[in-house]
């Protein structure tokens, strides 16, 4: 039984393999881009002529921005494109499991590892943009130099955990449906598939919130400590 869509290969030329993961990621990207482009072609700010699709997209964007603002109240709009893209990609790829023949690209470790590496890089980029290189790198040796290996270890392990969590959840869900089909056909797999939609959405939410928490920690750690020190100096 193939456990990831990586092993389904459609086209091969030399060392270039076009497997199901890449193909379905492309389909997903095209779908998201074309739908967004079609909707945002005729944006209208007046209340009378607002299309229902614009309402849907506005609702999604406003909700995501609200969630980001709860975690990092200062500059929600800076992180909205990155976090929102990740959330929509994972959520739509899970929801499309309703379509027969769809392989969620997030059921492959390559996709989730790529997403987790994107988050790991974005944490450093946002931290450096906010504080400057020297000030950002200094937080690795805080409170003492002895903490350096632990900081590095925690960053590696959380990136690994981010990738493995999403991969394990999505992959096990599709595998579970396959196993249940052999044991108790028709009814029970249906229930599990409905449950899988919920799990997919929750995992998308968790992935987005966790990456936002990591970014917020990298951005805020210095400024909070500075304000604490200032507060102590005033006392």
Partner 1 sequence: MNNVSIIGMTSIIAATLCMVIGSIAPAIGEARAIVQALGSIAQQPDEAGSLSRTLFIGLAMIESIAIYCLVISIILIFTNPFWTFVTSKSGG
Binding pattern for the stretch 32-71 against partner 1, x by CB under 8 A and - elsewhere: -----------------------------------x--x-
Cα angle vertex 217, ends 86, 229, to 5°? 160
CB of 168 to partner 1, least distance (A): 4
CB of 89 to partner 1, least distance (A): 18
Compare residues 35 and 80 and give the one whose CB is closer to partner 1.
Answer: 80
Q: Which stretch binds partner 1 (CB under 8 A): 14-22, 43-51, 82-90, 157-165?
A: 157-165
Binding residue (CB under 8 A) for partner 1 from 69, 209, 220, 221 = 209
Q: Residue 112 and residue 123: Cα distance in Å, rounded?
A: 17
Residue 211 makes contact with partner 1 by CB under 8 A: no
Residue 201 makes contact with partner 1 by CB under 8 A: no
Compare residues 123 and 131 and give the one whose CB is closer to partner 1.
Answer: 123
Q: Which stretch binds partner 1 (CB under 8 A): 77-85, 189-197, 200-208, 221-229?
A: 200-208
Compare residues 136 and 216 and give the one whose CB is closer to partner 1.
Answer: 216
Residue 191 makes contact with partner 1 by CB under 8 A: no
Binding residue (CB under 8 A) for partner 1 from 197, 205, 220, 221 = 205
Concatenating the DSSP letter of every residue in the chain gives ---SGGG-EEEEETTEEEEHHHHHHHHHHHHHHHHHHHHHTT---SSSS--HHHHHHHHHHHHHHHHHHHH--S-HHHHHHHHHHHHHHHHHHHHGGGSTT---GGGSHHHHHHHHHHHHHHHHHHHHHHH-HHHHHHGGG-S-GGGHHHHHHHHHHHHHHHHHHHHHHHHHHHHHHHHHHHHS-SHHHHHHHHHHHHHHHHHHHHHHHHHHHHHHHHHHHHHHHHHHHHHHHH-
**Residues lying near partner 1 in the complex (CB under 8 A):** 1, 3, 67, 70, 161, 164-165, 167-169, 171-172, 175, 202-203, 205-206, 209-210, 213
């Amino acid at each position: 039984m193939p456990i990831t869509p990586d092993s389904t290969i459609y086209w091969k030329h030399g060392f270039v393999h076009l497997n199901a993961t890449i193909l379905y990621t492309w389909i997903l990207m095209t779908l998201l881009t074309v739908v967004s482009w079609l909707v945002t072609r005729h944006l209208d700010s007046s209340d009378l002529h607002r299309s229902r699709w614009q309402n849907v997209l506005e609702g999604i964007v406003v909700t995501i921005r609200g969630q980001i603002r709860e975690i990092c109240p200062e500059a929600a709009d800076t992180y909205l494109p990155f976090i929102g893209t990740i959330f929509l990609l994972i959520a739509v790829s899970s929801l499309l499991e309703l379509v027969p023949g769809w392989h969620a690209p997030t059921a492959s470790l390559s996709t989730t590892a790529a997403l987790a590496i994107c988050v790991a890089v974005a944490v450093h980029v946002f931290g450096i943009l906010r504080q400057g290189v020297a000030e950002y790198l200094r937080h690795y040796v805080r409170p003492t130099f002895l903490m350096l290996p632990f900081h590095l270890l925690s960053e590696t392990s959380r990136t690994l955990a981010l990738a493995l969590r999403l991969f394990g959840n999505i992959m096990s869900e599709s595998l579970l449906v396959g196993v249940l089909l052999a044991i108790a056909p028709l009814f029970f797999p249906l229930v599990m598939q409905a449950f899988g939609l919920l799990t997919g959405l929750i995992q998308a939410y968790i992935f987005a919130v966790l990456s936002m928490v990591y970014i917020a920690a990298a951005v805020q750690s210095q400024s909070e400590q500075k304000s604490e020190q200032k507060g102590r100096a005033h006392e």
